[in-house]
A = this chain, B = another copy of it.
Amino acid sequence: MFKAVVYVTLKESVLDPQGNAVKGSLHSLGFDEVNDVRIGKYMEVELNVNDRVAAEERLKEMCEKLLANTVIEDYRFELVEA
């Protein structure tokens, strides 16, 4: 069994209105030292697979098909045997 941690982030060139909103809120709260905020997604996926290569292959497919929108987002993942 494997546990995967998947990170999905907006590509550098894509505007991040949610991040800007959080930055604005932090400024209103007095955190003026905040220059920039970018928001992404974090997912933990438990896989009932015994082979690391197979797990990587399947995770890649999941990211491409559902977890990330590859037009505007990048993804990466880490696999840990559980």
Q: How far is B49's CA from A58's CA once the two chains are assembled, in angstroms?
A: 41
Which residues of B lie under 8 Å from residue A15 when comparing CB positions?
none
Q: Is the CB of A47 within 8 A of B66?
A: no
Copies of this chain, tallied across the complex: 2
Q: How far is B43's CA from A25's CA once the two chains are assembled, in angstroms?
A: 14
Q: Cβ of A70 < 8 Å from any Cβ of B?
A: no
Highest count of chain B CB atoms <10 Å: which of A1, A9, A35: A35
Q: Cβ of A72 < 8 Å from any Cβ of B?
A: no
Which of B33, B40, B45, B48 lies in contact with A42, CB distance below 8 A?
Answer: B40
Which residues of B lie under 8 Å from residue A7 when comparing CB positions?
42
Residues of A within 8 A of B (CB): 1, 7-9, 19, 22, 25-26, 29, 31, 33-49, 58, 61-62, 65-67
